[in-house]
Copies of this chain bind each other. A is one copy, B any other.
């Protein structure tokens, strides 16, 4: 990546490279093995698995994997690692996309999957306290009979701990916000093993620095999250879905802008570009019009969702949209959204031998149509296959590059295209990642985006983790 050429000179330099001694690792490994027995592993297969997420980033295996069952055990593990200067990498479900769980400097992967209890549901307060290994689907199954749900849906059945650490977002964010808005409080094990609570269950507070938001999105680099308090919502009385085709990107995005300005509390609003629709037609044997298409979902009262759909239908028609279909019937809803649900598989099927490289940017919505259009032109000129799906209400879109990993020239073209897309988004007031995070795949883009503010991030990292043992090399370069 050449994004380094966009870097300003920063006041605070990178942390010193960490030196992990082999004897320190051996000592930690043997002590953890003695303490955790069957909940410890250093087999090649386990190490390989825990060093890899769902992305194209190769596995970088940790020295061992340990599976704690309590905050107290996590604290003991971190204290031991801190004593010996051995890195700690928290692991949720491994569904991250920027190499977040790779053990770049070796160390101990902490597998949070057995800390998977829903601890307390407070129906009246619309909140829940969970352990980090609870997955979002598990949580919603648990909540269903109480008439409650947790809306954040990044696609994968990620763990709540991982979603918190990576500031996850997804299709529902336009209405419900991201993890940033939906985490009320955290229990965190710090880099020296101390345990803190970042906040209380109160809906708001003006008491001191917002530590909750500091740990949300910190990707395991400041501490290990061991308990999460989340906001919940009542399952809406009615849900309706809609689909509409547009003559071009501007009319589709313009409809989104007008919908939001009108105050329609749309729950999901997804854009699929021509390449994505074409891929779905091939994969699902459908004959959808190959054109920019919006998929919408409305939550509310029966009367409310009907009103919302009607307003959007009128706005879409004004913009030249056609074939507007909507329904509240569950089966019909699933049929309407089938194409959206098939998008990932359809991408993969475009090139079964290719590697999927999913990346995302987010721009102010006024810039979205232009950003996508220029990216599409660039894809064509680069002779690459790369459909686009967007969480368009937020200005966030995903590029799914399909590349032959064995072809260095094609990889280079893909890298160049990617870099131009990110720098285009930054030039438009956007961010290098709306929801995937930095991991170690976007380190240079973080600096291109934030400039001197990265010095402040480094100062905080150094203050809270002076020996750089917490997931080193993620977010900030070592």
Collect the chain B residues with CB atoms within 8 Å of residue A247's CB: none
- Judging by beta carbons under 8 Å apart, are B263 and A202 in contact? no
Highest count of chain B CB atoms <10 Å: which of A207, A433, A475? A207
Say yes or no for A213: interface residue by CB 8 A criterion.
yes
- Judging by beta carbons under 8 Å apart, are A452 and B194 in contact? yes
Given A124-B365, A203-B395, A265-B265, verify A208-B452 contact (CB < 8 Å).
Answer: no
Least Cβ–Cβ distance between A184 and chain B, in angstroms: 9
- How many copies of this chain does the complex contain? 2
* Closest residue of B by beta carbon distance from A436: B206
Highest count of chain B CB atoms <10 Å: which of A123, A213, A430? A213
- Judging by beta carbons under 8 Å apart, are A211 and B456 in contact? yes
Say yes or no for A429: interface residue by CB 8 A criterion.
yes
Given A180-B213, A206-B436, verify A196-B430 contact (CB < 8 Å).
Answer: no
- Judging by beta carbons under 8 Å apart, are A203 and B394 in contact? yes
Q: Which of A409-433 contact B (CB under 8 A)?
A: 425-426, 429-433
* Closest residue of B by beta carbon distance from A203: B394
Say yes or no for A169: interface residue by CB 8 A criterion.
yes
Q: Which of A277-324 contact B (CB under 8 A)?
A: 299-301, 303-304, 307, 311
Choice from B178, B233, B445, B475 contacting A209 with Cβ under 8 Å? B475
- Judging by beta carbons under 8 Å apart, are A365 and B203 in contact? yes
Q: Which of A313-351 contact B (CB under 8 A)?
A: none
Choice from B300, B450, B459 contacting A464 with Cβ under 8 Å? B459
Collect the chain B residues with CB atoms within 8 Å of residue A388's CB: none
Given A261-B126, A452-B194, A456-B464, verify A216-B210 contact (CB < 8 Å).
Answer: yes
Q: How far is the CA of A222 from the CA of B236 in the complex (A)?
A: 42
Least Cβ–Cβ distance between A130 and chain B, in angstroms: 16
Choice from B147, B195, B209, B434 contacting A217 with Cβ under 8 Å? B209
Per-position 1/0 for A347-364, Cβ under 8 A of B:
000000000000000111
* Closest residue of B by beta carbon distance from A476: B208
- Judging by beta carbons under 8 Å apart, are B202 and A434 in contact? yes
* Closest residue of B by beta carbon distance from A263: B234
Given A233-B263, A307-B303, A364-B201, verify A206-B453 contact (CB < 8 Å).
Answer: no
Least Cβ–Cβ distance between A143 and chain B, in angstroms: 13
Say yes or no for A270: interface residue by CB 8 A criterion.
no
Given A208-B450, A366-B124, A456-B464, verify A431-B307 contact (CB < 8 Å).
Answer: no
Given A126-B260, A301-B307, A450-B197, verify A217-B211 contact (CB < 8 Å).
Answer: no
Per-position 1/0 for A259-277, Cβ under 8 A of B:
0111101000000000000
Collect the chain B residues with CB atoms within 8 Å of residue A452's CB: 194-196
* Closest residue of B by beta carbon distance from A466: B459
Collect the chain B residues with CB atoms within 8 Å of residue A178's CB: 204
Choice from B122, B123, B124, B450 contacting A207 with Cβ under 8 Å? B450
- Judging by beta carbons under 8 Å apart, are B257 and A124 in contact? yes
Q: How far is the CA of A177 from the CA of B205 in the complex (A)?
A: 11
Q: Which of A178-220 contact B (CB under 8 A)?
A: 178, 180-181, 190, 194-211, 213-214, 216-218
Say yes or no for A457: interface residue by CB 8 A criterion.
yes
Collect the chain B residues with CB atoms within 8 Å of residue A168's CB: 206
Say yes or no for A63: interface residue by CB 8 A criterion.
no
- Judging by beta carbons under 8 Å apart, are A202 and B395 in contact? yes
- Judging by beta carbons under 8 Å apart, are A210 and B307 in contact? no
Given A205-B434, A262-B234, verify A177-B167 contact (CB < 8 Å).
Answer: no
Q: Which of A1-16 contact B (CB under 8 A)?
A: 11
Contacts A/B (CB < 8 Å), 8 sampled:
A127-B364, A180-B204, A202-B430, A203-B394, A234-B261, A234-B262, A301-B307, A463-B463
- Interface of A toward B, CB cutoff 8 Å: 11, 122-127, 147, 166-169, 173, 177-178, 180-181, 190, 194-211, 213-214, 216-218, 222, 233-234, 236-237, 257, 260-263, 265, 299-301, 303-304, 307, 311, 362-366, 394-396, 425-426, 429-438, 442, 445-446, 449-457, 459-464, 475
Closest 6 CB pairs of A and B: A213-B213, A463-B463, A205-B431, A124-B366, A196-B453, A125-B364
